[in-house]
Amino acid sequence: MKAVVLAGGYATRLWPITRHRPKMLLPIGETTVIDRVFAELEADDRIDEVFVSTNEAFAGEFEAYLADADFEKPTLSVEDTTGESEKFGVVGALGQLVDREEIADDLVVVAGDNLIGFDVADFLDAFESHDSPTLAAYDVGARDKATAYGVIDIEDDRVVDFEEKPTDPPSSLVSIACYAFPQESLRFEEYLADGNNPDEPGWFIQWLVEHDEVYAFPFDEAWFDIGTPESYLAAVGWALDGDSLVSDDAVVIDSEIGENVHVMAGARVVDSTLSDTVVFGNATVLDCEIHDSIIDEETKIEDIDLAGALIGAHSQLGHGT
């Protein structure tokens, strides 16, 4: 069995934090978003190769990351794009990858910005029991939240209806961009040849439900789609579970470090109060009160209060800067 980890998005909703780094490499506690996905795939002997589908803009970042990692299965598969306007779309990129890498096997596809609480092994057990396309499904708890996802209607775990981003969803059970396909269901070329939407994988799943037998794997464990500052900070909060994580190489003086705060190596925090905030390496925070914010590397902030802020790298803000 092969696996594809989708890591080609430009994460514009997280700019400027992700302007020059893939969101999949953002820290979540002691690890990164994509580390958690790789660890699950590495541990399952049914998967013998993992393709990391990314773009030319971030290929160097992932090459360096994989060179330093202990994972043995992942290899890069690079699409020829460097900007959002050039993207093939997820389904288009998948179709190209299957053709380029000559994949002739069952295939697992996981979004690299998915933080999932269930065991991938359990998901693959369900897939093998169905021997049909299978997707992980999560109840977001409210129908108005479901409008941003592919909404599922199931009967005994069989998907009887699937609608991508409906305005009036029939339920709050959604697809989370974690799929498993038998080899014969890798019908990306057929789907695209019909002129269908190449962008979101949910459109392919909606088409596949009409042409194949598809099953769901409902789960109750944690799930975060790391696509917005709010969801990223929520994932950090889940990983830290109310604690703080301060690097041994950081300096914290006369400051109150509250819940769900990550201060990275080389950062300096003095006379400040922080909560639900990530401070990247070598940033300086002086005489500030900061909540629900992300402060990028090499930034200096002095004598200012921030809430819900995204401060890009090398910025200088405040009365003393």
CA-to-CA separations, 188 to 31, 58, 79, 200, 215, in angstroms, rounded: 33, 24, 16, 12, 18
With both helix axes pointing from N to C terminus, report the angle between 120-130 and 33-43 in degrees, rounded to the nearest 10.
50
Q: Which pTM does this prediction carry?
A: 0.86
Q: What three-state secondary structure class fits 25?
A: helix
> Given a cut of 80, is residue 81 above it in pLDDT?
no
CB 133 within 8 A of CB 186: no
pLDDT digits (tens, 9 = 90+) for 89-146: 788 888 888 888 888 899 999 988 888 889 999 999 999 999 999 999 999 988 888 9
* Maximal CA-CA distance, the chain: 63
pLDDT score recorded for residue 50: 94
> Given a cut of 80, is residue 300 above it in pLDDT?
yes
Q: What three-state secondary structure class fits 155?
A: strand
CATH architecture for segment(s) 2-231: Alpha-Beta Complex (3.90)
Q: Candidates 3.30.930.10, 3.40.50.300, 3.30.420.40, 2.160.10.10; correct CATH number of 242-318?
A: 2.160.10.10
The amino acid at 192: L
The domain limits of the chain are: 2-231, 242-318
Q: How far apart are CA 277 and CA 237, in angstroms?
A: 9
**Following CA atoms 217, 218, 223, 227 in sequence, which dihedral angle do they give, to the nearest 10 degrees?**
70
H helices present in 141-199, as ranges: 143-146, 188-193
Pairing of strands 305-307, 289-291: parallel
Residues whose CB is less than 8 angstroms from the CB of residue 271 and which lie 6 or more positions away in sequence, other chains included? 253, 254, 255, 286, 287
pLDDT digits (tens, 9 = 90+) for 42-72: 999 999 999 998 878 888 888 898 888 889 9
Pairing of strands 173-181, 223-225: unpaired
